[in-house]
Amino acid sequence: MDKTEKAKWVEEFPILKQIIEKQEVLWKNPLNGDSATGIAQSGITATDVKDASERLKRFAPYIAKVFPETAKENGIIESPITAIPKMKEALAPIYETVIPGKLLLKQDNALPISGSIKARGGIYEVLKHAETLALEHGLIKQDGDYTKFAEPEFRNLFAKHKIAVGSTGNLGLSIGIMSAKLGFNVTVHMSADAKQWKKDLLREKGVTVVEYTDDYSKAVEEGRRQAEADPLCHFVDDENSLDLFLGYAVAGERVAAQLKESGIEVDGNNPLFVYLPCGVGGGPGGVAFGLKLQFGDNVHCFFAEPTHSPCMTIGMMTGLHDKVSVADFGLDNQTAADGLAVGTASAFVGKKMEPLLEGCYTIGDDTMFELLSMIADTEDIRLEPSALAGMTGPIQVIRNGVPLADAPSATHLVWATGGGMVPETEMDIYYGIGKGIGRK
């Protein structure tokens, strides 16, 4: 993008000036509209999501068998929703903003197997691929006993097949762990910013890790190129995968059931606000879509991005989607928030979100770290930096006068996207950084 073009965009969208200055901003999406129309336009239906949900149920006995930590939930990989009243109280004086509604945390950091939101889409896509192969080879019927996926004939079949993915870390963990468990020959292409402990852990599980000195987009591109040349290789395409999206979308019905069970109503008088950390967009996009299917216009979804990597904000605002990168506006895409260091958003997701997303906001790394130590102190919950991106959501919407945001009847659900796999020593460092930044 040349200088005149950039200046033209800034003139059309003055908020870009603040974004370029790396300020924390809230952008309201002018295309957000009626949910039913938006869902119809997406080309994805409730039946597609139901189908994904049913597939996960078919695999549940297998999951319970090979990942014993999931046995108590009968092999359904789900995380709790936790009220965080002490955090809510602690936020008020710091941000000089009171949240009159309820503040809840969706604890995807506690998701079994890979400790992040990627356990939803990533594991789903691998399972679907395994099922497709097993059906094709006549090893299983859909009403059969799926614990058989752990048997040698299945593993021998999968050993002849490859799975590849490009990742900044967490997607690699989910795909790698699940694929290796099934017996696939799996390669994770990792960007330069991926943490050493993630690479070590994957190698320990028998995953091939290829390292790149470049950023995430490069790792994805290279992984895709190598996979395309091999007909026995399935490439998990984080930027364009319908299966990943559907795996994430199953969260909608699960959240609906959990809220119902806790007696929390969502309707015209009781709005639900959800804040989702966004990297390339598949995770938050899929979850938001699933929530829209459940709650329609009564759920208000916002994506949260680092001030250095607001790719979805810029992509949706300009309508350029994957034809624009944060670098076009002079941003360096440097952030400690794993999974969010993405310079170019998925157009597949951005376009689907155009009529369904209420807005996006940005958050600085310092703020994420400060919130990280705050929630550890107040609620004894340990999250990774990116998982805190959702936490300023309630403050942002209330301060910016988003309708109903300050209603006492509102429920604010902050999606804590990860942290469960972070080694304690690493977590202690994060915590220390947050304490150093703390304003108190």
Q: Minimum distance between the CB of residue 10 and ligand PLP, rounded to whole angstroms?
A: 25
Stretch 110-139 residues interacting with ligand PLP (CB under 6 A): 116-118
344 binds ligand PLP (CB under 6 A): no
Q: Dump the DSSP string for 312-376.
A: HHHHHHHS-GGG--GGGGT-----S-TTT--SS--HHHHHHHTTT--EEEEE-HHHHHHHHHHHH
46 sits in which H/E element: helix 46-66
176 binds ligand PLP (CB under 6 A): no
Q: Minimum distance between the CB of residue 280 and ligand PLP, rounded to whole angstroms?
A: 4
C-alpha 407/C-alpha 102 separation (Å) is 10
Stretch 319-338 residues interacting with ligand PLP (CB under 6 A): 338
Whichever of 133 and 336 has its CB closer to ligand PLP, that residue is: 336
250 binds ligand PLP (CB under 6 A): no
Q: Minimum distance between the CB of residue 342 and ligand PLP, rounded to whole angstroms?
A: 6
Q: Minimum distance between the CB of residue 304 and ligand PLP, rounded to whole angstroms?
A: 9
The single-letter DSSP state of residue 387 is: G
350 binds ligand PLP (CB under 6 A): no
| Spatial CA neighbour of 161 closest among 83, 92, 230 | 230
Q: Which span (14-22, 57-65, 205-213, 280-288) binds ligand PLP, by CB under 6 A?
A: 280-288
Q: 189 near 166, Cβ under 8 Å?
A: yes
Whichever of 274 and 410 has its CB closer to ligand PLP, that residue is: 274
| Spatial CA neighbour of 249 closest among 117, 424, 100, 348 | 117
382 binds ligand PLP (CB under 6 A): no
282 binds ligand PLP (CB under 6 A): yes
Q: Minimum distance between the CB of residue 89 and ligand PLP, rounded to whole angstroms?
A: 25
C-alpha 270/C-alpha 174 separation (Å) is 35
Q: 19 near 314, Cβ under 8 Å?
A: yes
H runs (alpha helix) in 206-303: 216-228, 242-249, 251-261, 282-295
Q: Minimum distance between the CB of residue 339 and ligand PLP, rounded to whole angstroms?
A: 3
309 binds ligand PLP (CB under 6 A): no
As to burial, measured by CB atoms within 10 angstroms (0-12 exposed, 13-18 middle, 19+ buried), residue 418 is buried
**Which phi and psi angles does 188 have, rounded to 5°?**
-110, 120
Q: Minimum distance between the CB of residue 384 and ligand PLP, rounded to whole angstroms?
A: 6
Percent helix, percent strand, percent coil in the chain, to nearest 5? 55, 15, 35
Judged by CB under 6 A, the number of residues near ligand PLP is 21
166 binds ligand PLP (CB under 6 A): no
Q: Minimum distance between the CB of residue 79 and ligand PLP, rounded to whole angstroms?
A: 12
Q: 343 near 326, Cβ under 8 Å?
A: yes
390 binds ligand PLP (CB under 6 A): no
**102 beta partners:** 411
Among 70, 386, 392, 411, binds ligand PLP (CB under 6 A): 386
236 binds ligand PLP (CB under 6 A): no
H runs (alpha helix) in 76-189: 85-95, 118-136, 152-159, 170-182
Contact map string, positions 178 to 217, toward ligand PLP, x by CB under 6 A: ----------------------------------------
393 binds ligand PLP (CB under 6 A): no
| Spatial CA neighbour of 42 closest among 226, 286, 265, 234 | 286
Among 166, 279, 306, 420, binds ligand PLP (CB under 6 A): 279
Among 284, 290, 310, 420, binds ligand PLP (CB under 6 A): 284
16 binds ligand PLP (CB under 6 A): no
281 binds ligand PLP (CB under 6 A): yes
277 binds ligand PLP (CB under 6 A): yes
C-alpha 279/C-alpha 312 separation (Å) is 8
Name the residues that contact ligand PLP, by CB under 6 A: 116-118, 170-171, 277-284, 338-340, 384, 386-387, 417-418
